[in-house]
Structure 1
Amino acid sequence: MSVVVSPTWLKEQLAHHADKTVVVDTRFKLTDEDAGRKAYLEGHIPYAIYLDLNKDLSAKPAKHGGNHPLPDMDMFTAKIANIGIDHETTVVIYDQQNDMFAARLWWLLYYVGHDHVYLLDGGFDAWVEQGYEVTTEVPKLEQANFTPQYRENEAVDIEEVKKKLTNGSATLIDSRSRERYLGKTEPMYAKAGHIPGAKHFFWKDIFDKDGKWKDTKDLEAHFGSLDKEDEIIVSCGSGVSACPNVLALKSAGFRNVKLYPGSFSDWISYEENDVETKEE
């Protein structure tokens, strides 16, 4: 399952098939929610439209459900149709570099049944480094029709996570940094540590020393301690940085990979849930 493309591939795609391609800019900063949109307006890849993590790729946080719950899917599918995406459209998503927000949109599109979605390896920075055109022009896109074909088995809620951890029918992984996993630091939430039973696989470790996506062989080695026949549930803080790991696992040949969208922020919203701080 290879969905990562190079800047040169995208340049050729836009040169010959721009009318059948939608490019999406997902740049975002958790510490400055306006930074991504500002960066887009200051310069972006030609034909790109901007989608915002908080406004477009997530619902508003509630008491339970995590800090970045999945968006209302009727609204989400209406939005992607409004920017010109149908089931035949080639969609290419980019971030500043290989960041988590592009993978979040990739997962959402995969979840609603889109089969032609790609990530730009190295993101906007790689595009600029190649010397390719940057524009401030906001494209006008024709509205399309998109009928979702949900892959509902791709996501699990907290009750399913609890059940499968109890009966041992799935492996849970935590995608955050080791320091946050071990509870040594926690910049976002009131509790520190991880969901009991979760194994640690930092999402940034799926990239090579140059910051590019590892190839299939290296990803298989990275996840070598996991069994490809097992169900793998992927979590993080709020269901965003887990998405690169979901894609990496699928690229490495794991077929039963699911996202826990609420992740740690949902787990700790229930006072009765324990938190662990030791390696597992």
Structure 2
Amino acid sequence: MSYLISASKAYERLHDSNTVFADVRFVLGQPSAGEEAYRLGHIPGAVFFDLNHDLSGPKEEHGGGHPLPDADLFALKLGQAGIDEHTEVIVYDDQGGSIASRLWWMLKHAGHERVKLLADGFSGWQASGFPVTTEIAQPAAKRFIPRVNDSLQATIEEVKAGIGAGNRVLMDSRIHGRYTGEDTSKYLKAGHIPGAINHYWEDGSPEGVFLDAAHQRERFKSIPLDREIIVYCGAGVTACPNVLALTEAGYTDVKLYVGSWSDWTSYDENPVATGEEGKA
């Protein structure tokens, strides 16, 4: 089963009362840009989810830059958006799936499998000539009952156990310079978790279009399908497109380290590696 959907197939669901489109556009460093873009034009009937306010909890000393929100609060927001266990959700952004994949993963983590990513993004929808509106959606509220599946996320203890483990792969999804430690501009410490390999998330959605399963399999072809893979990034967001890409490629034991590098480096005792460890 694929979690991707094309603009043309999504258009066929536009007037389906059991389908909700979720706009998750967000620009890092410009926290209001996503909602502003939504108000300027979005897929008709789409509801808006903000990365900071809806898809993240409050930051603390540990837990990373985008910790998960309270499960019951998230379920309440889903219900207010007209989503329950029977609803198909089509998530989209205009950032190559980097933000929408976070909502895709959170829905799966909450026990909801009926979710797809608009592979073409909002730009692809527009380029196809499909309708856009500025009307703010007012969905009828439903009740979403979470069935949290914690097997989809890795704890920091599991990450530590994965260092040097032959049956586990740690995957760093950040741009290469941050992985190697050459780029010191963003985090408290530069480098990566020892033993982690680097697969930049954006390689899975060049030019903003999320690649299909065959292309994703080619990206990860040197990783055996039976490996457990723990994926992280800087703050638990742009690891999600790699989680989705790996799932599309046929990997069945893929976990997100939600806290990611920002959580890992919040503990002084955690080891840090720099330089090149390569791609598996």
TM-score, normalising length: structure 2: 0.95
CA distance in 1, matches of 2:217, 2:47: 34
Counterpart of 2:229 in 1: which secondary structure?
Answer: strand
Partner of 1:11: 11
Q: In 2, distance between residues paired with 1:63 and 1:270?
A: 9
Look up the SS of the partner of 1:100 in the other structure. Answer: coil
How do residues 41-120 of structure 1 correspond to structure 2 at under 5 angstroms? Answer: 41-120=39-118
| Structure 1 runs (4+) greater than 6 angstroms displaced | none
Q: Which residue of 2 aligns with 1:243?
A: 240
After superposition, the Cα gap between the structure-2 partners of 1:211 and 1:50, relative to the gap in structure 1 and judged at 3 Å, is closer
Cα deviation code 1:60-81 (max 9, x no counterpart):
2111000001111111011101
Most deviating of 173-182 and 93-102 = 93-102
The offset of 1:187, in angstroms, is 3.3
How far apart are residue 3 of structure 1 and its match?
Answer: 1.3
CA–CA distance in 1 between the matches of 2:32 and 2:120?
A: 22
1:25/1:40 contact within 8 Å kept: yes
DSSP-derived class of the 2:217 partner:
helix
Give yes or no for contact 2:97–2:117 (8 Å, CA) kept in 1.
no
Q: Which residue of 2 aligns with 1:276?
A: 273
Native 8 Å contact 2:97 2:119 kept in 1: no
Between stretches 233-242 and 214-223, larger displacement belongs to 214-223
Structure 1 distance, partners of 2:97, 2:91, is 11
Shift of 1:147: 1.2
The equivalent of 1:191 in structure 2 is 189
Aligned to 1:146: 144
Deviation per CA, 1:172-206: give whole Å up to 9, x if none: 00000111101111332121111111101111111
Q: Which runs of 5+ in 1 are unaligned?
A: none
Aligned pairs for 1:21-32 (under 5 A) are 21-32=19-30
- 1:156 paired residue number: 154
The answer as to whether partners of 2:164 and 2:195 remain within 8 angstroms in 1 is no
Q: Structure 2: which 5+ residue stretches go unaligned?
A: none
Contact 2:121–2:209 (CA<8 Å) still a contact in 1?
A: no
Code of the aligned partner of 2:4: V
- In the alignment, the residues of structure 2 paired with residue 186 and residue 74 of structure 1 have an alpha-carbon distance, to the nearest angstrom, of 37
- Partner residue of 2:254? 257
Question: CA–CA distance in 1 between the matches of 2:47 and 2:211?
Answer: 27
Amino acid at match of 1:32: Q
Q: For 1:167 and 1:204, how far apart are their aligned partners in 2? A: 27
Deviations 1:110-133 (A, max 9, x none): 111111101111211111111221
Q: Is it true that 1:35 corresponds to 2:33 in the alignment?
A: yes
- The letter of the residue matching 1:107 is W
Shift in CA distance, 99/213, structure 1 to aligned 2, threshold 3 Å? closer
State how far apart, in whole Å, the 1-side matches of 2:195 and 2:144 are: 39
Quote how far apart the aligned CAs of 1:153 are. 0.5
* Paired residues, number: 277
When structure 1 is superposed on structure 2, of 65-74 and 180-189 the one drifting more is: 180-189
Report SS of the residue matched to 2:12. Answer: helix
